[in-house]
Amino acid sequence: MLSESLKPGKSFVNVGRNLKRQERVRRLPQFRSSGLREAARSLRIHPRREEPVIQQIPLLENSLAAVFTRTDSIAEAIENLVRNATHSIDAALYRFNNQRLAQALSAAHKDGVRIRLVTDRSKYEESPETRNLLSKVPFSFRSSYGLDGDGSKMHHKFVLFDNSLLLTGSYNWTSASEEKNFENLLVLQAPKLIETYRKEFEAIWEASR
């Protein structure tokens, strides 16, 4: 049974069904000056075909958007939000090798946004692609094991924008998540929930190296 805070709200997002992977992704709108909240609220599903079969999915209360790789480019949605951040981006990501998103974070850093990234240490050590990518970024990053040390996972996949917007879901910031997998991303604006995630990020950041 859902707790009161997790009962479905009245906000809905349209999702296309039965779509072919090879069909071209139509881009989400570009957000340049509307601000982070407006950018998130403006996220819309642009299906991979002209006439999708539509179903309505109720979102959780305080959610702004749900995005799925089956129908959309999550990387583009994230990139748009990165461009609208003004103060900070704190990311705890199990895996990270998406060059496009690394470039977006680097550009935000150059514009004065504080960027902090924590990724899983085992995945970092196992992946030459990740190590090479992160060796070139200008922002701060660390790696961490999970609760049980070596061999356990820092398996989070969440990002805080300006401590006012939360992204979470199955999506890793990797090429495979973007191009090959069925993945999801939920965009939330819920102050109490965001504060809980902020504390979690700070604890992991302090314990990481």
Q: Each residue of 131-152: pLDDT tens digit? A: 999 999 999 999 999 999 999 9
Q: What is the pTM of this model?
A: 0.73
Task: Provide the domain count of the chain.
Answer: 1
pLDDT of residue 44: 53
Q: Tell me the percentage of the chain whose pLDDT exceeds 90.
A: 66
pLDDT of residue 36: 74
pLDDT of residue 43: 63
Give the Cα separation of 23 and 36 in Å (integer).
29
Q: Identity (one letter) of the amino acid at 173? A: W
Give the Cα separation of 139 and 6 in Å (integer).
35
CATH number at residue 109: 3.30.870.10
Give the Cα separation of 89 and 91 in Å (integer).
6
pLDDT band for 128, please (50, 70, 90 cuts).
very high
Average confidence (pLDDT) over 80-103: 96
pLDDT value at 113 more than 80: yes
Burial 103-125 (b: 16+ CB within 10 A, else e): ebbbebbeeebebbbbbbbbbbe
| Domain interval for residue 162 | 4-207
Average confidence (pLDDT) over 24-46: 53
Q: Each residue of 54-78: pLDDT tens digit? A: 333 344 556 688 999 999 999 999 9
Interior angle at CA 14, CA 10 and CA 16, nearest 5 = 150
Give the Cα separation of 112 and 126 in Å (integer).
31
pLDDT value at 11 more than 90: no
